[in-house]
């Protein structure tokens, strides 16, 4: 017997106008084509302060719009989406490769985008939802602050090198050494620069701490809580680095295989193939730089603190040198990130006691409302149970501090949950 046909199949969207938009800092150039490639809108240049009114007056529900990813893209995307049938965001670099041309103007760019959209050839990028954009913006702001702090420190180091000065300790920028810096025998102009760089360090430190505190609070938002729990179990990852990695990845289901995520981070090897020649080179360094940087930093920490990763690093370093070896470790760590996030599974190399210590740090950095009424001990136990770790742990702590006594585990002998921790349900 033949299966019954759906009496009301979903309608296929058929745009009546294909609209390309070229966006810069202050204006948008718009051009629209009909299905026969006839120009029906513009080209017209619209200032951003008039753009919303223009959209409300001119866009229709059967329009398809395309724009390149740029500074203002997400704001304009949110503005346009309710007014039209579809909005596509194009990858700028891939558009350049497809439409290489000697003449490049805003009008030409808008026209090329419209033609690509009509031909269904737009190299589309993922449009992150609002919570991902919010987290990415905070991560980018932290990066800017840290960059400013690094620049100030480098300038102060240059003063030491220029005058062959030896600071009193290995941490010369600690607050307790401010007097030492201010008493240096320098000319007035250099003394002014040193004093202002020290002031910058005093200012930037609390600002960075404030941003990191907000990142940690966001780790308990509904969208991030469970994924953050699975990431902090990994060696080398604290809650801040976990949130940086999550901001870059967004939705892990976008990556059907670990190799896709590795390529997205730019940690895959470049390949040169021609005729009978096939060579692999260094990493591509394409993709999201902050993800690549976070993985390399986490790899160094994992190598320092975890015997499994140290053994792998030592083996690789003997063959290819430390710089290439740490990149290889970062790549392997990212593969592990994919497995624990995509499959929601425990890391095979996880040490329950060490994971519990990281959970204690995470809990104590959260505001009380971030723990949803849980004590630190309850917070740690619920996360361990979610991971399927540490059922046998009764207490945990550092050698020089009092032990934290944990409530009984909800895990059965086989490692599965008898009950799902209620606070994890509430926050995941």
- The tens digit of pLDDT for each residue in 148-194 reads 999 999 999 999 999 999 888 778 998 889 999 999 999 999 999 99
pLDDT for the residue 307: 94
pLDDT for the residue 97: 75
Give the 3-state secondary structure of 92-121.
HHHHHHHCCCCCCCHHHHHHHHHHHHHCCC
Average pLDDT of the residues in 114-129: 93
Any idea which residue has 């009301």 for tokens? 8
Strands 17-23 and 63-68: parallel
pLDDT for the residue 417: 57
C-beta of residue 365 within 8 angstroms of C-beta of residue 358: no
CB neighbour list of residue 14: distance below 8 Å, 6 or more residues apart: 62
Helix (H) or strand (E) holding 41: strand 39-47
Q: Which of 88, 78, 35, 72 is nearest to 55 (CA)?
A: 78
pLDDT for the residue 271: 38
What is the rounded CA–CA span in Å between residue 352 and residue 396? 10
368-374: long-range contacts (C-beta < 8 A, 24 or more apart)? 370/216, 370/217, 370/219, 370/220, 371/220, 371/423, 372/220, 372/423, 372/426, 372/427, 373/423, 374/423
pLDDT for the residue 102: 53
Any idea which residue has 């006839």 for tokens? 38
Phi, psi for 44 (deg, rounded to 5): -135, 140
pLDDT for the residue 422: 39
CA distances from 294 to 123, 313, 355, 386 (A): 27, 17, 19, 25
What is the rounded CA–CA span in Å between residue 2 and residue 20? 44
Q: Residue 162 has which token pair?
A: 């220029």
Phi, psi for 283 (deg, rounded to 5): -65, 155
Q: Which of 396, 401, 364, 402 is nearest to 381 (CA)?
A: 396
C-beta of residue 123 within 8 angstroms of C-beta of residue 91: yes
77-105 residues labelled b (16+ CB within 10 A) or e (exposed): bebbeebbbebbbbbeeebeeebeeeeee
What is the rounded CA–CA span in Å between residue 84 and residue 86? 6
Q: Which residue has the higher pLDDT, 342 or 105?
A: 342
Using one digit for the tens of pLDDT, what is the confidence trace for 182-217? 999 999 999 999 999 999 999 999 999 999 999 999
Using one digit for the tens of pLDDT, what is the confidence trace for 261-308? 999 999 986 533 334 443 444 556 677 899 999 999 999 999 999 999
Phi, psi for 292 (deg, rounded to 5): -65, -45
pLDDT category at 426 given cuts 50, 70, 90 is: very low
382-416 residues labelled b (16+ CB within 10 A) or e (exposed): bbbbbbbbbbebeebeeeeeeebebeebbbeeeee
Using one digit for the tens of pLDDT, what is the confidence trace for 332-371? 999 999 999 999 999 999 999 999 999 999 999 998 888 8
pLDDT surpasses 70 at 386: yes
Using one digit for the tens of pLDDT, what is the confidence trace for 20-66? 999 998 999 999 999 999 999 989 999 999 999 999 999 999 999 99
The residues with which 271 forms a beta bridge, in sequence order, are: 280
pLDDT for the residue 416: 59
Any idea which residue has 């202002």 for tokens? 196
Q: Which residue has the higher pLDDT, 268 or 240?
A: 240
């Amino acid at each position: 017997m033949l299966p019954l046909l759906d009496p009301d199949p979903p309608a296929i969207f058929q745009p009546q106008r294909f609209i390309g938009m070229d966006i810069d800092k202050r204006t948008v150039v718009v051009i629209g084509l009909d299905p026969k490639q006839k120009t029906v809108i513009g080209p017209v240049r619209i200032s951003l302060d008039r753009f919303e009114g223009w959209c409300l007056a001119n866009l229709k529900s059967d329009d398809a719009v395309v724009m390149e990813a740029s500074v203002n893209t997400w704001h304009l995307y949110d503005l346009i989406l309710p007014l039209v049938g579809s909005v596509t965001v194009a990858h700028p670099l891939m558009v350049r490769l497809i439409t290489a041309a000697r003449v490049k103007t805003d009008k030409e760019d808008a026209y090329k985008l419209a033609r690509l959209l009509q031909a269904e050839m737009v190299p589309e990028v993922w449009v992150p939802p609002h919570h991902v954009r919010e987290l990415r913006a905070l991560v980018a702001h932290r990066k800017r602050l840290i960059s400013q702090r690094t620049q100030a420190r480098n300038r102060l180091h240059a003063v030491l090198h220029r005058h062959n000065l030896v600071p009193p300790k290995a941490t010369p920028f600690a607050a307790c050494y401010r007097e030492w810096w201010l008493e240096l025998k320098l000319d007035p102009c250099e003394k002014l620069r040193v004093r202002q760089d020290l002031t910058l360090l005093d200012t930037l430190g609390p600002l960075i701490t404030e941003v990191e505190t907000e990142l940690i609070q966001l780790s308990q938002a509904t969208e991030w809580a469970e994924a953050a729990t699975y990431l902090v179990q990994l060696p080398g990852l604290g809650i801040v680095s976990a949130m940086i990695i999550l901001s870059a990845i967004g939705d892990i289901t976008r990556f059907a295989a670990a190799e896709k995520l590795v390529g997205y981070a730019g940690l895959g090897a470049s390949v040169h193939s021609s005729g009978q020649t096939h060579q692999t080179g260094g990493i591509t360094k394409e993709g999201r730089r902050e993800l690549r940087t976070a993985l390399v930093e986490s790899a160094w920490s994992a190598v320092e603190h975890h015997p499994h990763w140290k053994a792998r690093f030592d083996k690789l370093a003997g063959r290819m040198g430390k710089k290439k070896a740490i990149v290889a470790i970062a790549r392997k760590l990212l593969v592990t990130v994919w497995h624990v996030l995509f499959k929601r599974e425990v890391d095979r190399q996880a040490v329950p006691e060490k994971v519990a210590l990281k959970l204690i740090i995470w809990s104590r950095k959260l505001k009380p409302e971030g723990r949803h009424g849980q004590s630190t001990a309850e917070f740690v136990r619920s996360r361990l149970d979610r991971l399927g770790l540490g059922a046998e742990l009764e207490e945990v702590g550092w050698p020089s501090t009092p032990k934290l006594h944990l409530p009984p585990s909800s895990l059965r002998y086989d490692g599965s949950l008898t009950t799902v921790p209620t606070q994890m349900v509430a926050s995941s």
